[in-house]
Amino acid sequence: MKVLVAYLSETGNTEKLAQAIFNSLSSGEKELLPLEKVTGLDDYDLIFCGFPVQAHSVPKKASHFIKSIPKGKKVAFFASHGSQRGGEFAVTAFHHAVSLSSDLKVLGTFGSRGRVKMQLVEALSKQLEHRAWAEEASNAATHPDEADLKDAADFARGIIIKARAS
Ligand SMILES: Cc1cc2nc3c(=O)[nH]c(=O)nc-3n(C[C@H](O)[C@H](O)[C@H](O)COP(=O)(O)O)c2cc1C
C-alpha cells in the first residue's frame, strides 16, 4: 500500500503531527510532503491530509488540495488547533474537511491542540469572531506534546488497519 502524508503547517505544529504519523507507518512505500510539494496523487492508495484549523475551518490551500484528490481515494484528516481537543471549534473544521470530500472515502479524523503565539491570542481575543477559540487557545502553549504525538501515531495505525480492510 502506497501512503502519502501531506500537510500544511505555518508554525510547525501540524508538521510535528505529520512526522509522528509518518514515523508510525511501517517502512513500506510511504512519503511525507508539505502540500505545496505534492506533484501527483494517482499512485497513492491512502492519503493522510493535515492542516492547521483557521477560523473554525480548513485553510484555502488545504481545501484546494482536498478538492484535487482523485475520486474514490481513501483519506484521513489530521489537524492542529488552539482550541480544546474534541471541542466544537475543532469538530466544525473537520466537518468542513469532510464536506469537501463527498467523492472520497474518509476513514477518520484526528485533532491535537497546537500552540498559538501569545501575541496572536491577545490580538484575536479582541475580535468577536475569534474570541471564543482564542480564549481556549491561551493554555495550548505546550502542544503538541509527547502524548499528542503518541495519539497521532495510534490514530495512524488504526487508519492503516481500516484502509487494508476496506
Ligand atoms: C489566522 C489564524 C486563525 C486561527 N483560527 C483558529 C480557530 O478558528 N480555531 C482554533 O482552534 N485555532 C485557530 N488557530 C490556531 C491554529 O490552528 C494553531 O495554532 C495551529 O496549531 C497552527 O498549526 P501550524 O503550526 O501547523 O501552522 C488559528 C491560527 C491563525 C494563525
Ligand 1 pocket, CB under 6 A: 9-15, 52-56, 80-83, 89-90, 114, 116, 120, 133, 137
Residue whose C-alpha cell is 468542513: 96
Residue at 46 is within a domain: yes
Longest dimension (CA), the chain: 48
Coil, strand or helix at 122: helix
What value does the mean pLDDT take over residues 128-142?
89
What percent of the chain is predicted at pLDDT more than 90?
Answer: 79
- The CA 43 to ligand 1 mean position distance, Å, reads 31
Count each helix (H run) and each strand (E run) in the chain, helices first.
Answer: 6, 5
Residue at 107 is within a domain: yes
pTM, two decimals, is 0.96
Residue at 93 is within a domain: yes
Residue at 56 is within a domain: yes
- Burial label, 60 (beta-carbon count in 10 A; 0-12, 13-18, 19+): exposed
Residue at 160 is within a domain: yes
Q: With 90 as the cut, is the pLDDT of residue 135 above it?
A: no
User: Ligand 1: which atom is nearest the Cα of residue 17?
Assistant: 26
Residue at 50 is within a domain: yes
What are residue 52's DSSP bridge partners? 80
What percent of the chain is predicted at pLDDT more than 70?
Answer: 100
Residue at 123 is within a domain: no
Residue at 121 is within a domain: no
Q: In which element (H, E) is residue 80 found?
A: strand 74-81
Domain that includes residue 6, residue range: 2-115+141-165
Q: How many domains does the chain have?
A: 1
The CATH number covering residue 16 comes to 3.40.50.360
The pLDDT tens digits for 60-104 are 999 999 999 999 999 999 999 999 988 888 999 999 999 999 999
Q: Are 159 and 76 in contact (CB under 8 A)?
A: yes
- The CA 54 to ligand 1 mean position distance, Å, reads 5
What value does the mean pLDDT take over residues 26-52?
95
Residue whose C-alpha cell is 488497519: 161
Residue whose C-alpha cell is 505545496: 36
